[in-house]
Amino acid sequence: MAKYINPYTGFGFKKLFGEEGNKDLLMDFLNQLLPAHHQIADLNFRNPENLADLSAERKAIFDIHCKALSGERFIVEMQKAKVKYFKDRSLFYVTFPIREQAQQGDWNFRLEPIYFVAILDFEYDEAEEIRKFRRDVTLKDQDGAVFFDKLHFKFLQMPLFNKQENELETKFDKWCYFLKNLANFDHIPNILNEPIFQKAFDTAALVRLSAEQRALYEENLIQYWGMKSALETAVEEAVEERVLEIARNLLLLGTENDFIAKATNLSIAQIELLRNETKKN
């Protein structure tokens, strides 16, 4: 039986980072991602219930209005990203805090900086990017110079974070290790035995949930497992189809069975079936 909530579920994500009583957890995590001039001194949640557009979708996203130690104000949009069209979603969602800054009357269009932070429990399928655990994106021109320094995207592909306990060097490493492994922990690791993580573990403890909260969480967890299972099946089917396509192309080139078997890991029997199918077509 699990001891802690799964932070990749909507319930678990909100429990850790979306409650007023846990603002210190959110601040500590975000300050590991944000630059020195935008370290958060205070933050407030904007109530997503006030947003008429796509209200069901927006409930899974945190609009966080921040005040830096310098006094400068900026906005963080934070979400546990969904897999389908996640880049499109990210660009679409970030238009909300842009539009919401519009003022009636004589307004000079000056915008507060915006950071979009997405925690991904999947790898997005782009060969160049799939090896990047963390991706920081800023609008740049054709020479690589920053064109607009008020809009930043930060994507974390959590499956690509592979550091073990003895390899954790920074507070950011510790947070990533915590998030990736929380659902599997049965005790607090020594390296995370410090006040901020002690509170995070206490917040995430299943025994702390009420019966109503536990029921909501379990329903949410079943939905999450279903989504993950569907995604994994789709990926497996796509990989299998790609292997078969390679084998068919090699057959059309007159390649021997042994070579195809080594190239695709298909059995000789499977290759012969494909060969017969190819002949019929």
Residue identified by tokens 């990736």 is 180
Is residue 260 in a domain? Answer: yes
Is residue 261 in a domain? Answer: yes
* Structural domain range at position 245: 211-281
| Each residue's pLDDT tens digit, 220-236 | 888 777 766 655 565 56
Which residues fall within 8 angstroms of residue 21, CB to CB, at 6 or more apart? none
Neighbours of 15 (CB within 10 A): 19
Domain termination residue (choose one: 160, 176, 208): 208
Is residue 5 in a domain? Answer: no
Spatial distance between the Cα atoms of 60 and 57, rounded to a whole number of angstroms: 6
Is residue 31 in a domain? Answer: yes
| Each residue's pLDDT tens digit, 98-133 | 888 888 888 889 888 888 888 888 777 566 556 788
Spatial distance between the Cα atoms of 85 and 167, rounded to a whole number of angstroms: 33
Is residue 46 in a domain? Answer: yes
Query: Among residues 28, 106, 107, 30, which one has the least CA distance to residue 74?
Result: 30
In this structure, the answer to whether residues 238 and 118 fall within a common structural domain is no
Compute mean pLDDT per 10 residues along the chain, 281 residues long, and list them: 88 88 92 92 70 45 80 76 73 84 87 88 67 89 93 90 94 96 94 96 94 89 73 62 82 84 84 78 62
Domain termination residue (choose one: 186, 208, 230): 208
Q: What's the total number of domains in the chain?
A: 2
Is residue 2 in a domain? Answer: no
In this structure, the answer to whether residues 131 and 100 fall within a common structural domain is yes
Is residue 4 in a domain? Answer: no
> How confident is the model at residue 127, as a pLDDT?
62
In this structure, the answer to whether residues 168 and 255 fall within a common structural domain is no
Neighbours of 192 (CB within 10 A): 21
The token duo for 235 is: 């990926």
Query: Among residues 118, 122, 65, which one has the least CA distance to residue 92?
Result: 118
In this structure, the answer to whether residues 160 and 63 fall within a common structural domain is yes
In this structure, the answer to whether residues 198 and 216 fall within a common structural domain is no
In this structure, the answer to whether residues 113 and 242 fall within a common structural domain is no
Domain termination residue (choose one: 158, 183, 208): 208
Residues in the chain: 281
In this structure, the answer to whether residues 187 and 118 fall within a common structural domain is yes
Query: What is the DSSP code string of the chain?
Result: --SB--TTSHHHHHHHHSSGGGHHHHHHHHHHHS-GGG-EEEEEEE-GGG--TTHHHHTTEEEEEEEETTS-EEEEEEEE--STTHHHHHHHHTHHHHHTT--SSS-------EEEEEEESS--S-TTTTT-SEEEEEEE-TTS-EEEEEEEEEEEEGGG----GGG--SHHHHHHHHHHHGGG-SS--GGG-SHHHHHHHHHHBGGGS-HHHHHHHHHHHHHHHHHHHHHHHHHHHHHHHHHHHHHHHHHHTT--HHHHHHHH---HHHHHHHHHHHHH-
In this structure, the answer to whether residues 161 and 279 fall within a common structural domain is no
In this structure, the answer to whether residues 97 and 42 fall within a common structural domain is yes
Compute the C-alpha angle 134/33/127, nearest 5°: 10
Is residue 92 in a domain? Answer: yes
In this structure, the answer to whether residues 58 and 115 fall within a common structural domain is yes
Nearest 10 degrees: Cα torsion 70, 153, 136, 29: 60
> How confident is the model at residue 57, as a pLDDT?
47
In this structure, the answer to whether residues 217 and 199 fall within a common structural domain is no
In this structure, the answer to whether residues 203 and 219 fall within a common structural domain is no
> How confident is the model at residue 188, as a pLDDT?
93
Which residues fall within 8 angstroms of residue 124, CB to CB, at 6 or more apart? 83, 86, 87, 130, 157
